[in-house]
Structure formats: C-alpha cells, structure tokens
Amino acid sequence: MLSLTPAGRIRGLRWWIIGLVFLATLICYIDRLSISMLAPVICSDLHLSNLAYAGINTWFLVSYSLGQTFFGKLQDRFGTRRGYPAAMAVWSVAEAAHAGARSVFGLSVARFGLGLGESGQWPAATKVAAEWFPAEQRAAAMGIVNTGSALGPVVAAPLLVWLQLRFGWKTCFLATGSLGFLWLGIWLAAYRVPERHRRITAEERTLILAGQKESERATAPEWSMLLRQRETWGIVLSRFLADPVWWLYLIWLPLYLHTARGFSLRDIGFFAWIPYLGAAAGSLLGGWSSGRLVSRGWAVYRARGVAILFATLLAPAGVFITRAQSPVTAIALAGVVLFSFQFWVNNLQTLPSDIFPTGFVGSIAGMAGSSGSFGAALFTLATGFLTERFSYQPVLVISGLLIPSATLVLLLLVKPERFRPPVRAELDEGMGG
C-alpha cells in the first residue's frame, strides 16, 4: 500500500521508483531468455546446429554491445524519463517480431533489434539509482534491480514452456513482447526526477539531493575526460572478462540440460529456473552486504572490495558441472555460479556512481555494458565451436577463471586513494564545477 502524507506526497517514493525499474528488468530478461528457454524446440524446427544457434545469439550481443554506449549517452543527455521508454519500445517491438521469423536470417534480425533496444536497460537503471538514492543505499537499490535479472529466468522458464506447449513457440514471442508496452504507460505517467516529482516529500528530496553538487547533476561529459581515468578502464575491462559467465548460463543452460542431461522441454520448464534463484539471492545479498558495511562506517571502497572478493571465491564452482554425477548436483553448481556472479556484478555496477559525478554514470555504465557484451559475443561464438567439436567441459573450465581475472583487473586499476575525492574533484573541475 502507498503511504500518503496529507499533502498527497508518497513516503519512500524512491523505493517505488526502483520497483518500476525492477519490473522493467524482469520484462527485459523474460524477453531475453525466450529464445534460450525454447532453444530445443526452435533448433529442432529450424534445424539449427550449435554454431548456428551461437551465431543468432551473437547478433543480439553485437547490437547490445554497440547500443549500450549509445544509450548511455542518450540517458545522460535526454534523461531517463524519455530515454528509458525509448529503449523499452524498441526491444518490445523486436521481441514480437521473433514470431514472424522463418529462418536463421529472420531470427538474427529479430535478435539484433532486441539487443539494440535492451542495450538501454542497464545504463538507464544505473542512472535512475544514482538519481534517486544516496551513496549508502545505491548498492541495495541496484540489488533490487538485479533481482529482476535473476527472477526473469525464474518466471520465463515455466511461463514460456507453458505457452509453447499450449500455443506454440511463435505465440510466446507475441505474448512477451506485449509486456513492455504495459510498462511504458506506467513509467510515463509516474516517473520524474526527484527535483521535479510532485509526489516526493521534502524530507526525501533533501536526503536524495544532499551532497550532490550541481556539477554532479550535469550531463553530457566529454569522452576524453572519461578515458583519462584508470577507474573507467578498470570497470570496462572487468566487465569484458566477467560478463561472458552470465551469458553462458543465460544462452546455453537450457540447451545443455536438453542435449547433455536428457531433459525434455517440460523438464526444462520444471527445473531450469532453479539456478536463477541463486542469482536472485546474490543480487539482494550483494547489494545489502556492502551497503550494510558502509552504513556501519566502512569506507565505500573497502565495503565493495570485500563483497567482490567473497563472490570471486565462489565463481569457479562451474568447473565441476560436467563432472557431476546427477542433474541435481549440476543444477546446484550452476546456482552457485549465478549467485556469485550477481553478488559480484551488483557491487561492480555501483562503482560508477561511487566514483564519478552523477552526470557521468550513464555513459560509464554504457561503456562497461558494451565491453561486457562484446566479451560475451566472442565467448558465445567460442562456445558454439567448442561444444560442436568437443564438449561443454572446456567452456566451463575457461568460464571458471573469468571472474577471478576480472577481480584482478579491478584490484590493479581501481585504487583506494583515488576512489572518491580525487577523481570526483578532477572531474568536477573538468565540468566547470
């Protein structure tokens, strides 16, 4: 229930706003997972090899990679009220267009359009969190958002399998594509930035804007200013290395369960969602844990660092999936990997807003997302080749080393002494603050 003041203001409005972002993320991942959850049927109907299936998903990742930098700039220049729904409209149309695909080419075009639209999701979500939450609550806010990415597959698996068994796989895409347009109406009616929102209380507006200088709320930073910062490169390169782990399980887990473990489509609907509960737990606990440490007086860098290192220790669990004797053990190990990734990435995604002025956050989040998607595209093609020629084992061994490598990059490039005041001061000066 909404808690209204006598003046019609909404108490804790920022949590309702982040709830809308959570819903957008949930829809984003239902749409994104539609092809992988239905991969056994689609590959059979269209006679797709593993390499062809990898190619179709690579088109998604290519456009997703290119689009994130563009949409990151779009969010910083035009704001999330207009930029977010623009992205949602593009990806919802593209999702529905999958229903008309009759070949590898048709699916590739639809996936390219979906990737382009969905590339606006994380730059917009990160910027909304930076606009609406103080530093000590941003990791928790992003944890809620990231839970949408984890619960999306939980919802998608039974929903899409049920739709396919009842109506066929083409209807699945029409149904999921319609969800975004419902969200669009709510967002346009409800969203404003804190400075302009009529329903925000004075106390909450003060809390949100406290400590944000005008220079921090400025927009359209210069690229040269961003690229001179080693922290930019630390965030971007670490996403390049780590994101392929997440995409490996998003794209290939249902097909692996079908081909290597003998799961039917109905079995996939019953069981493939379970590892993503681990991802949901990682999203919530990752943001909560570091935010809790900050609230207890820990330096932000130290709190984020401890959380990232903890997740890094769990990440190699996936190496043992193919050696597991039972499907139950394999699914449990996949859940550990997804827990560790979401715990890890939730803290990483707060670093742009921890380090840089708010006006830079969308651009840096877009660059990082583009880098991660490009790395995932390369790894997806490699997965198609390796599974076609060999097995899933070399893929899982390599993926087990990626998050530790990404953490090493962060430790080398993001230093405590440069974490907040020096970097922010330099960028504020460059923006005329």
Count other C-beta atoms under 10 Å from residue 202's C-beta. 10
Amino acid present at 39 = A
pLDDT per position as a tens digit, 28-53: 999 998 999 999 999 888 888 999 99
Instruction: Give the C-alpha separation, 383 to 403, whole Å.
Output: 17
Q: Which domains are present in the chain?
A: 13-430 (1.20.1250.20)
Instruction: Give the C-alpha separation, 361 to 191, whole Å.
Output: 19
pLDDT per position as a tens digit, 333-383: 999 999 999 999 988 888 877 777 767 776 787 788 888 989 999 999 999
Contact criterion met (CB below 8 Å) for 283 and 415? no
The pLDDT of residue 432 is above 50: no
The full 3-state SS of 115-136, as one line of letters, equals: HHHHCCHHHHHHHHHHHHCCHH
Amino acid present at 11 = R
Instruction: Give the C-alpha separation, 13 to 59, whole Å.
Output: 38
Q: What is the mean pLDDT of residues 53-75?
A: 84
pLDDT per position as a tens digit, 319-334: 999 899 899 999 999 9
Instruction: Give the C-alpha separation, 271 to 20, whole Å.
Output: 28
The pLDDT of residue 208 is above 50: yes
Count other C-beta atoms under 10 Å from residue 206's C-beta. 11
pLDDT per position as a tens digit, 255-285: 999 989 999 988 988 888 899 889 888 988 8
Instruction: Give the C-alpha separation, 120 to 148, whole Å.
Output: 15
Q: What is the mean pLDDT of residues 110-127?
A: 90
Q: What is the pLDDT of residue 358?
A: 67
Q: What is the pLDDT of residue 211?
A: 46
Amino acid present at 204 = E
- Provide the pLDDT confidence category of residue 246 given band limits of 50, 70 and 90: very high
DSSP three-state, residue 4? strand
The pLDDT of residue 300 is above 90: no
The pLDDT of residue 75 is above 90: no
Q: What is the pLDDT of residue 215?
A: 37
- Provide the pLDDT confidence category of residue 431 given band limits of 50, 70 and 90: very low
- The better pLDDT of the pair 415, 290 is held by 290
How close are the terminal C-alpha atoms of the chain, in Å?
Answer: 41
Mean predicted lDDT score pLDDT of the chain: 84
The pLDDT of residue 213 is above 50: no
User: Could you please report the per-residue DSSP string of 23-78?
Assistant: HHHHHHHHHHHHHHHTHHHHHHHHT--HHHHHHHHHHHHHHHHHHHHHHHHHHHHH
Q: What is the pLDDT of residue 221?
A: 53
Q: What is the pLDDT of residue 430?
A: 45
Contact criterion met (CB below 8 Å) for 31 and 23? no
Nearest to 236 by CA among 136, 356, 137: 356
Q: What is the pLDDT of residue 426?
A: 43
Q: What is the pLDDT of residue 1?
A: 57
Count other C-beta atoms under 10 Å from residue 279's C-beta. 31
